């Protein structure tokens, strides 16, 4: 049976009318080519339209808003050994290129800067303060490489030498006590803050003064005893409004935060072993959509939190992995910064 005959039979059956054989054959011959081009067979239709599974209208998921609250790095990271060696090489090379110039290229004669330079050169024996001594002229001029393990290659040693040079006036010991000599007063030098804090030494995970080179994330222990990001169900509000409420209900009103955007940066889904009846629906799980936020000032205070939270920690990405469940970690790991 060709396509035209199939079309005729279907039209007849739909209209509930009977057609004689001669009329049916005439229609088939006249419209066979047009019907073959326009009509697909039932087999072809079944190949192109996959069956669609109809979800039960009573099936639903609870929608939660979660907060990825973070404190960004406060200081630059430690240099890689190759970077440290390269920067030291560049500073020493710059000194070699500057040696042929007379000091009057940098300092005007008989100015305080020129006098201080001459005094300090007697103590330094080299223009450089932080990269070691070097004789640009003489038999040892060729010996300008830093040996492996030398103190000059250590960052802490370089900082101490710079501070020591800034604190000294360049005068000889006891010279200020000589008759007719004016004592040189030096202003106190502010020393840099340590890169390793007391919170690092004590491993105080509740402090924001630890791991200054890393990004720290707020992790809370919920009322079931599970560690996760702060979250709660939506209450006739959008995600952005719920995020503001969750931050206040978690950390209190004395925490200054900033929501970075209105768009979620990720989500986590939980499927319940058995459906939970909620009003007229059966909840088969929960979906949590996370928004990104930054802490600007303040600290978390759980004394008056309204979410039943038991504890909190500020953790880096690798530390956070040890606290959360495996499925939760797989959902959130790509949202977190490595440092």
Cβ contact 21:48 at 8 Å: no
Residue 100 phi/psi, 5-degree rounding, is -65, -20
pLDDT band at 51 (very low <50, low <70, confident <90, very high): low
Would you say residue 19 has pLDDT above 50? yes
The pLDDT assigned to 173 comes to 55
pLDDT over 90 at 73, yes or no: yes
> Tell me, what's the pLDDT at 253?
85
Q: Which domains does the chain have, with CATH numbers?
A: 3-48 (no CATH), 60-75+197-335 (3.90.79.10), 81-177 (no CATH)
pLDDT at 171: 64
pLDDT in tens, 196-224: 999 999 999 999 999 999 999 999 999 99
> What is d(CA 256, CA 314) in angstroms, rounded to the nearest whole number?
16
CA dist 217 and 257 (Å) reads 13
Q: Average pLDDT in the 100-109 region?
A: 83
Q: Which of 17-31, 42-56, 140-154 has the highest mean pLDDT?
A: 140-154
Sequence-separated (6 or more) residues with CB below 8 Å from residue 339: 73, 77, 213, 214, 215
Angle among Cα 316, 320, 324 to the nearest 5 degrees reads 165
The answer to whether the beta carbons of residues 297 and 289 sit under 8 Å apart is no
CA dihedral of 275, 277, 283, 284, whole degrees rounded to 10: 0
pLDDT tens-digit readout, 144-163: 778 888 888 888 888 888 88
Q: For the chain, report the end-to-end CA distance as a whole number of angstroms.
A: 71
Q: How far apart are CA 331 and CA 326, in angstroms?
A: 9
Q: For 172-223, what is the HEC assignment?
A: CCCHHHCCCCCCCCCCCCCCCCCCCCHHHHHCCCCCCCCCCCCCEEEEEECC
CA–CA separation, 5 and 339 (whole Å): 72
Strand partners, 276: 283
Averaged confidence pLDDT in the chain = 80
What is the dihedral angle through the alpha carbons of 86, 89, 95, 100, rounded to the nearest 10 degrees?
-120
More confident residue, 41 or 153: 153
Question: Residue 310's CB: how many other CB atoms inside 10 A?
Answer: 13
Q: Given pLDDT bands bounded at 50, 70 and 90, which one contains residue 22?
A: low
Whole-number pLDDT of residue 106: 83
Q: Confidence class of residue 37 from pLDDT cuts 50, 70 and 90?
A: very low
- Report how far residue 166's alpha carbon sits from residue 144's, in angstroms, rounded to the nearest whole number: 25
């Amino acid at each position: 049976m060709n396509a035209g005959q199939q079309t005729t039979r279907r039209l007849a059956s739909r209209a509930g009318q009977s057609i004689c054989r001669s009329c049916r054959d005439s229609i088939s011959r006249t419209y066979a080519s047009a019907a073959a081009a326009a009509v697909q067979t039932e087999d072809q239709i079944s190949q192109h339209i996959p069956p669609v599974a109809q979800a039960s209208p009573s099936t639903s998921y609870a929608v939660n808003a979660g907060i990825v609250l973070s404190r960004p790095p406060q200081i630059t990271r430690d240099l890689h050994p190759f970077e440290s060696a390269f920067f030291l090489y560049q500073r020493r090379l710059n000194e070699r290129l500057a040696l042929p110039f007379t000091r009057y290229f940098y300092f005007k004669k008989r100015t305080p800067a020129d006098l201080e330079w001459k005094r300090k050169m007697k103590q330094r024996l080299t223009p450089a303060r932080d990269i070691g001594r070097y004789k640009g002229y003489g038999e040892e001029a060729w010996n300008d490489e830093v040996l492996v393990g030398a103190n000059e290659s250590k960052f802490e040693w370089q900082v101490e030498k710079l501070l020591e040079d800034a604190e000294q006036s360049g005068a000889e010991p006891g010279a200020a006590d000589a008759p007719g000599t004016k004592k040189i007063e030096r202003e106190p030098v502010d020393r840099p803050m340590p890169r390793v804090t007391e919170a690092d030494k004590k491993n105080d995970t509740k402090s924001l003064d630890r791991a200054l080179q890393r990004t720290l994330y707020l992790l809370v222990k919920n009322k079931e005893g599970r560690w996760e990001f702060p979250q709660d169900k939506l209450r006739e509000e959008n995600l952005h409004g719920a995020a503001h409420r969750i931050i206040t209900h978690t950390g209190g009103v004395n925490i200054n935060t900033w929501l970075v955007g209105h768009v979620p940066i990720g989500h986590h889904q939980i499927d319940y072993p058995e459906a939970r009846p909620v009003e007229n629906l059966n909840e088969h799980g929960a979906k949590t959509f996370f928004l990104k936020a930054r802490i600007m000032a303040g600290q978390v205070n759980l004394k008056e939190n309204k979410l039943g939270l038991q504890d909190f920690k500020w953790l880096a990405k690798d530390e956070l992995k040890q606290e959360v469940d495996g499925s939760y970690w797989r959902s959130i790991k790509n949202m977190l910064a490595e440092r």
